[in-house]
Amino acid sequence: MHLSTALTAFALVSAVAAEHGAGAGPRRRHHGKGPRKRCAAHSALESSSPSSIAASVVAVQSAADVASAAAAVASAAITASLAVNNAYAYQGGGVSHSVLRLQALAVAVSSAAPAASSASSTGTTTTNASTSSSGKQVFAHFMIGIVEPYTQADHEADQSLAKSKGITGFALNIGTDDYTVTQLTNAYAAAQAVGFNVFISFDFNWYSTSDVSAVASIVSQFVGQPAQFLVDGMPFVSSFIGDGFDWSSVASSVGKQLYVVPYFQPDLATQSGLEGLFSWDAWPGQGNNVPILANMTTDQDYVYIDAVDAASKTYMAPVSAWFMTHFPASTYNKNWAFYSEELWKIRWDQILSMGSDLNYIEIITWNDFGESHYIGPYDTPHTDDGSSAWASGLDHTAMLDMAVPYINAFKAAQTTVTVQDEMLVYWYRPHLKSAECDSTDMCGAKPTGWDFLEDSVFVTAMTISGGTVTVTSGSNAAVTTTVDAGVQIFQVPMGVGTQSFSFQTNSGGSGSGSGNVSISADCWNGNYNFNFHSGSITV
């Protein structure tokens, strides 16, 4: 890859230098008084003559260290291309297509050389944070629309946490807010500082399929940033809905090929301008937003997989931990809960089982508090759409801990989880489902699907060789469960009061702790709350 690119760069340098630096072709007449002066561009061009670059190519051909030779050619290529560029500018002309190609190749070679150098010394391939031409990647959906108060440091905090759990990057969901560009700028700068990836996901609740120029304008501003996620050099772009949007026209306007993987319906897999499809179908019953008492299946995944396979494209699958929304009719009129209590483990197991058909997955979401599927921290400087009524005080970040071995397994193309850090992760709702408060609740009713949920505390034990877990839920008697090695989930009846846990592993580790949210028989501050709280205990 580096060798062939370097040789191509050499060929272009030679051709361009010969044409424009060695006297070939007509010269522009010098106007004005006094002697004609040699410009720095011509001097630099001559110092980067084909013969000097040829020496670098000989080094490439004979060197054992391809990366070093590629870097040498890249350096010469950059010098020559800039010289030609300056010479043209000096002469009052434009820059030729060959020069533009040369500059792009030179930058590509020089960027790739450090990775190749690392590979030659370690025997492995390393990838810059901004590029992944191969390999399985895990992203998380991040809502830009609620982070107007964010600074770059706030973005860095979120991204650093995500990166520490193995997440590759954020899909930055954007609407048309007047602070969108500011926050995209902050997010991209943060990702560059952290060594993280980002890409834009256009939310077509706010855009329309006629907004080609508006979308292209945003894309062109950011796809060249160092933190932009790339696939084979193509900037990765996505969307939430927007079926039929003309991405080919966006690419033409931007002037580069894009790697577009939007949430479109599967029958649009053959549409031009797309490299694949993303699915938002992450919860059972989602098709018509009517909860059902059934676990998530991979049926819809394979509808997508079959469609993209037939079109020789890729599929990005969704993963989510929960879904509950409780907006009254006066705002968004959304009041339902999907059957999600064990979804996090069920779905990750499904992802591993589909591993050979997947290169990308996207966690839904990092910070959508309104639908309760956030896995990032709540205590951030975001704006409140009313969801604080059920999200404030309920921590979901322990679900990140539970995801780590699954993320590692997926990225390593494994179908089973290998536990390295023994841990207990637990989650539960803040009140019994028998609580009644229609008269004070913001919606005046429980969310549809509430009756499918269990009055249970859910526990996942991650062990190397098994162990025992004891759960004391409020005033209920303690329940001790023996767990096998690996990742095992179980539930115990929910009791009003403090939730306490102790953990003993067969490898000799132990830990204990209590959740910092108690379970109540009454509603949550006068409202129904079918969101959940989580925590973890390490040994």
Location of structure tokens 């500059």: 103
The Cα 141–Cα 320 span in angstroms is: 10
pLDDT at 191: 99
pLDDT of residue 287: 83
Enter the pTM of the model.
Answer: 0.77
Backbone angles phi, psi at 524, to 5 degrees: -90, 100
What is the distance of C-alpha 515 from the center of its chain?
A: 30
Of 444, 399, 426, the residue nearest 498 (C-alpha)? 426
The pLDDT of residue 113 is 38
Give the pLDDT score at 129.
Answer: 53
pLDDT digits (tens, 9 = 90+) for 49-73: 333 334 443 333 333 343 444 444 4
Do the Cβ atoms of 183 and 147 come closer than 8 Å?
yes
> What's the rounded Cα separation, in Å, for the pair 421 and 150?
33
> Which residues have CB under 8 Å from 166's CB, separation 6+?
138, 403, 404, 407, 408, 411
Q: Which of 73, 58, 98 is nearest to 10 (CA)?
A: 73
pLDDT tens per residue, the chain (539 residues)? 443 344 344 444 444 333 333 333 332 323 333 333 333 333 333 333 333 334 443 333 333 343 444 444 444 443 343 333 333 333 333 333 333 333 333 333 333 333 333 333 333 323 345 444 459 999 999 999 999 999 999 999 999 999 999 999 999 999 999 999 999 999 999 999 999 999 999 999 999 999 999 999 999 999 999 999 999 999 999 999 999 999 999 999 999 999 999 999 999 999 999 999 999 999 999 888 999 999 999 999 999 999 999 999 999 999 999 999 999 999 999 999 999 999 999 999 999 999 899 999 999 999 999 999 999 999 999 999 999 999 999 999 999 999 999 999 999 999 999 999 999 999 999 999 999 999 999 999 999 999 999 999 999 999 999 999 999 999 999 999 999 999 999 999 999 999 999 999 999 999 999 999 999 999 999 999 999 999 999 99
Q: Where are the alpha helices (DSSP H) in 359-473?
A: 388-391, 398-411
**pLDDT tens track for 498-521:** 999 999 999 999 999 999 999 999
Does the CA dihedral 521-523-528-534 come out positive or negative?
negative
Give the relative orientation of helices 40-47 and 66-91 as an angle to the nearest 10 degrees: 150
Closest CA to 261 of 249, 244, 278: 278
Which string of DSSP letters, residue by residue, matches 277-316? EE----STTGGGT---SS---SHHHHHHHHHHHHTT-EEE
Instruction: Give 488's strand partners.
Output: 461
